[in-house]
Chain A
Amino acid sequence: SQTIHQWPATLVQPVGSPLSLECTVEGTSNPNLYWYRQAAGRGLQLLFYSVGIGQISSEVPQNLSASRPQDRQFILSSKKLLLSDSGFYLCAWSAGQTTSTDTQYFGPGTRLTVL
């Protein structure tokens, strides 16, 4: 069966510090991968999605970036965190050829607090 992991589970970082969140998927090949952010009192906002190694699409301009160095690894990064980057970050995967109709399965999330 497929599983999705995220780490760390929680993170407290000072403003201006770098960020690296990691997501890995097991039990599937060539997944579509997604990063979402969930801010307090708001819905989920898609940040990035990837349909293959090295292929990243950005949905929202910001100081975050994403990379996919391996088929089942998706990394969310920042060079300098802002207060507004605080939130709950969720990674998700889906199977199939498109990013539209396939069910997305979510990881446990990372709670990021920027102070």
Chain B
Amino acid sequence: AQSVTQLDSHVSVSEGTPVLLRCNYSSSYSPSLFWYVQHPNKGLQLLLKYTSAATLVKGINGFEAEFKKSETSFHLTKPSAHMSDAAEYFCVVSDTKAGTALIFGKGTTLSVSS
């Protein structure tokens, strides 16, 4: 069965410093992996998606993620944090074989200080 683990429930960075949000997944088959962002009391917005093409995926707002099969990881990074990046981030996996809906991690809250 597929699962996803976000290794940090809360990450705090200063504006202008790099962001790293960690995610590990478990999947029996070739997974599709996503990162979504949710600002307070808002719906989820897709940041980026991996579907077995390039292992380095570029998303919106300067975010990117690298798929590492050997480490079963899909960490989200951004070179320089902005105040508007403060939000909750969800790592998501789907299993192309099982045909089930998406499986969400529990989320990582990113705080950005000035």
Contact between chains at B101 and A100 (CB < 8 Å): yes
CA distance A111 to B42 in the complex (A): 10
Q: Does A107 contact B (CB under 8 A)?
A: yes
Chain A residue, CB-CB nearest to B9: A41
CA distance A107 to B43 in the complex (A): 5
Residue interface bits A33-75, CB-to-B below 8 A is 1, else 0: 0100000001110100100000000010000000000000000
Category for how many chain B residues contact A: 20 to 34
CA distance A92 to B42 in the complex (A): 13
Residue interface bits B82-114, CB-to-A below 8 A is 1, else 0: 000000001000111011111011110000000
Instruction: Say what secondary structure dominates the interface of chain B.
Output: loop
A contact residues around B32 at 8 Å (CB): 100-101
Known: A34-B101, A43-B104, A44-B104. A101 touches B45 (CB 8 A): no
Contact between chains at B96 and A101 (CB < 8 Å): yes
Q: Does A30 contact B (CB under 8 A)?
A: no
Contact between chains at A100 and B94 (CB < 8 Å): yes
A91 to chain B, nearest CB (A): 8
The residues of B with any CB-CB pair to A shorter than 8 Å are 32, 34, 36, 41-46, 49, 51, 90, 94-96, 98-102, 104-107
19 contacts between A and B (CB under 8 A): A34-B101, A43-B90, A44-B90, A44-B104, A59-B101, A88-B41, A90-B43, A98-B99, A99-B99, A100-B94, A100-B99, A101-B32, A101-B51, A101-B96, A103-B46, A104-B101, A106-B36, A108-B43, A109-B41
Top 4 A-B pairs, shortest CB-CB distance: A106-B43, A106-B44, A43-B106, A44-B104
